[in-house]
Protein backbone atom coordinates (compact mmCIF):
# COMPACT_ATOMS: atom_id res chain seq x y z
CA UNK A 1 0.00 0.00 0.00
CA UNK A 2 1.43 3.37 -0.97
CA UNK A 3 0.94 6.79 0.59
CA UNK A 4 -1.84 7.70 -1.87
CA UNK A 5 -3.79 4.64 -0.80
CA UNK A 6 -3.31 5.62 2.82
CA UNK A 7 -4.51 9.19 2.16
CA UNK A 8 -7.61 7.94 0.39
CA UNK A 9 -8.31 5.33 3.08
CA UNK A 10 -8.06 7.94 5.84
CA UNK A 11 -10.45 10.16 3.90
CA UNK A 12 -12.82 7.21 3.36
CA UNK A 13 -12.83 6.28 7.06
CA UNK A 14 -13.57 9.90 7.93
CA UNK A 15 -16.48 10.03 5.49
CA UNK A 16 -17.83 6.65 6.56
CA UNK A 17 -17.67 7.58 10.24
CA UNK A 18 -20.30 10.26 9.60
CA UNK A 19 -22.78 8.13 7.66
CA UNK A 20 -22.82 5.18 5.25
CA UNK A 21 -21.84 6.01 1.68
CA UNK A 22 -22.64 4.28 -1.59
CA UNK A 23 -19.74 3.17 -3.76
CA UNK A 24 -20.60 5.87 -6.31
CA UNK A 25 -20.64 8.60 -3.65
CA UNK A 26 -17.19 7.58 -2.41
CA UNK A 27 -15.75 7.36 -5.91
CA UNK A 28 -17.07 10.86 -6.70
CA UNK A 29 -15.63 12.29 -3.49
CA UNK A 30 -12.29 10.57 -4.11
CA UNK A 31 -12.13 12.06 -7.60
CA UNK A 32 -12.82 15.54 -6.25
CA UNK A 33 -10.20 15.03 -3.54
CA UNK A 34 -7.71 13.62 -6.03
CA UNK A 35 -8.02 16.51 -8.45
CA UNK A 36 -7.42 18.98 -5.63
CA UNK A 37 -4.28 17.09 -4.58
CA UNK A 38 -3.23 16.33 -8.18
CA UNK A 39 -2.83 12.63 -7.46
CA UNK A 40 -1.30 10.66 -10.33
CA UNK A 41 -2.94 7.42 -11.46
CA UNK A 42 -6.03 8.55 -9.59
CA UNK A 43 -8.44 5.94 -10.97
CA UNK A 44 -6.09 3.06 -10.16
CA UNK A 45 -5.71 4.36 -6.62
CA UNK A 46 -9.45 4.83 -6.22
CA UNK A 47 -10.16 1.32 -7.52
CA UNK A 48 -7.63 -0.17 -5.11
CA UNK A 49 -9.07 1.68 -2.10
CA UNK A 50 -12.70 0.91 -3.02
CA UNK A 51 -11.90 -2.80 -3.32
CA UNK A 52 -10.11 -2.67 0.04
CA UNK A 53 -13.15 -1.01 1.65
CA UNK A 54 -15.45 -3.65 0.13
CA UNK A 55 -13.28 -6.44 1.56
CA UNK A 56 -13.45 -4.79 4.98
CA UNK A 57 -17.23 -4.42 4.49
CA UNK A 58 -17.16 -0.65 4.88
CA UNK A 59 -18.83 -0.28 1.48
CA UNK A 60 -21.93 -2.35 0.83
CA UNK A 61 -24.55 -0.86 -1.47
CA UNK A 62 -27.24 -3.25 -0.13
CA UNK A 63 -26.68 -2.11 3.47
CA UNK A 64 -26.48 1.50 2.28
CA UNK A 65 -29.83 1.22 0.45
CA UNK A 66 -31.49 -0.35 3.52
CA UNK A 67 -30.08 2.42 5.75
CA UNK A 68 -31.13 5.14 3.30
CA UNK A 69 -34.71 3.86 3.01
CA UNK A 70 -34.98 3.56 6.79
CA UNK A 71 -33.71 7.10 7.29
CA UNK A 72 -36.12 8.50 4.75
CA UNK A 73 -39.03 6.55 6.20
CA UNK A 74 -38.34 7.86 9.71
CA UNK A 75 -37.08 11.38 9.13
CA UNK A 76 -37.83 12.60 5.61
CA UNK A 77 -40.80 10.64 4.25
CA UNK A 78 -40.69 9.96 0.54
CA UNK A 79 -42.69 7.96 -1.96
CA UNK A 80 -41.27 4.76 -3.42
CA UNK A 81 -40.93 6.54 -6.73
CA UNK A 82 -38.89 9.37 -5.20
CA UNK A 83 -36.71 6.95 -3.22
CA UNK A 84 -36.03 4.97 -6.39
CA UNK A 85 -34.83 8.12 -8.15
CA UNK A 86 -32.65 9.19 -5.20
CA UNK A 87 -31.03 5.75 -4.85
CA UNK A 88 -30.45 5.52 -8.61
CA UNK A 89 -28.65 8.88 -8.46
CA UNK A 90 -26.44 7.44 -5.73
CA UNK A 91 -25.42 4.59 -8.02
CA UNK A 92 -27.52 1.81 -6.49
CA UNK A 93 -28.63 -0.92 -8.91
CA UNK A 94 -32.31 -1.53 -9.68
CA UNK A 95 -32.17 -5.01 -8.09
CA UNK A 96 -30.83 -3.65 -4.80
CA UNK A 97 -33.39 -0.81 -4.82
CA UNK A 98 -36.22 -3.29 -5.35
CA UNK A 99 -35.04 -5.41 -2.41
CA UNK A 100 -34.58 -2.37 -0.16
CA UNK A 101 -38.11 -1.14 -0.90
CA UNK A 102 -39.84 -4.53 -0.39
CA UNK A 103 -41.08 -3.78 3.12
CA UNK A 104 -41.66 -0.08 2.55
CA UNK A 105 -45.22 0.82 3.53
CA UNK A 106 -45.96 3.80 1.33
CA UNK A 107 -49.45 4.29 2.77
CA UNK A 108 -48.13 4.50 6.34
CA UNK A 109 -45.42 6.95 5.25
CA UNK A 110 -48.04 9.04 3.47
CA UNK A 111 -50.22 9.13 6.59
CA UNK A 112 -47.26 10.32 8.69
CA UNK A 113 -46.42 13.00 6.16
CA UNK A 114 -50.01 14.22 5.98
CA UNK A 115 -50.17 14.47 9.79
CA UNK A 116 -46.95 16.45 9.79
CA UNK A 117 -47.87 18.80 6.93
CA UNK A 118 -51.65 19.25 7.20
CA UNK A 119 -51.34 22.37 9.38
CA UNK A 120 -50.80 25.40 7.21
CA UNK A 121 -51.84 23.79 3.92
CA UNK A 122 -55.22 23.85 2.25
CA UNK A 123 -56.36 20.46 0.94
CA UNK A 124 -55.45 21.44 -2.61
CA UNK A 125 -51.99 22.68 -1.58
CA UNK A 126 -51.41 19.50 0.43
CA UNK A 127 -52.37 17.32 -2.53
CA UNK A 128 -50.02 19.27 -4.81
CA UNK A 129 -47.20 18.97 -2.26
CA UNK A 130 -47.72 15.21 -1.94
CA UNK A 131 -47.85 14.78 -5.72
CA UNK A 132 -44.55 16.67 -5.86
CA UNK A 133 -43.11 14.16 -3.40
CA UNK A 134 -44.00 11.39 -5.87
CA UNK A 135 -47.02 9.85 -4.17
CA UNK A 136 -49.70 8.47 -6.52
CA UNK A 137 -52.88 10.56 -6.71
CA UNK A 138 -55.12 7.53 -6.00
CA UNK A 139 -53.24 6.78 -2.77
CA UNK A 140 -53.38 10.43 -1.69
CA UNK A 141 -57.17 10.54 -2.23
CA UNK A 142 -57.61 7.25 -0.36
CA UNK A 143 -55.61 8.42 2.66
CA UNK A 144 -57.17 11.91 2.75
* Residue 131 shares a structural domain with residue 78: yes
Q: Which of 43, 59, 75 is a domain's end point? A: 59
Give CA–CA dist 4/6, Å, rounded. Answer: 5
pLDDT tens per residue, range 100-144 = 999 888 999 999 899 888 888 888 999 999 999 899 999 999 988
Q: What percent of the chain has pLDDT over 70?
A: 94
Give CA–CA dist 127/140, Å, rounded. Answer: 7
Q: What is the mean pLDDT of the chain?
A: 88
DSSP 52: H
Is this model's pTM higher than 0.85 or not? no
Give CA separation, 32 vs 24, 42, 46, 80, in Å.
12, 10, 11, 31
What is the helix (H) or strand (E) element at residue 28, kind and residue range?
A: helix 23-37
* Residue 102 shares a structural domain with residue 42: no
Range of 34's domain? 3-59
Amino acid sequence: MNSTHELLLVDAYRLLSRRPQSEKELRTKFQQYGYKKKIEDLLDNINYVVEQLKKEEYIDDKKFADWYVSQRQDFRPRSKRRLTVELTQKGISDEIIEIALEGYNEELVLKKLIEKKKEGYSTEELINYLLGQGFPYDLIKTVL
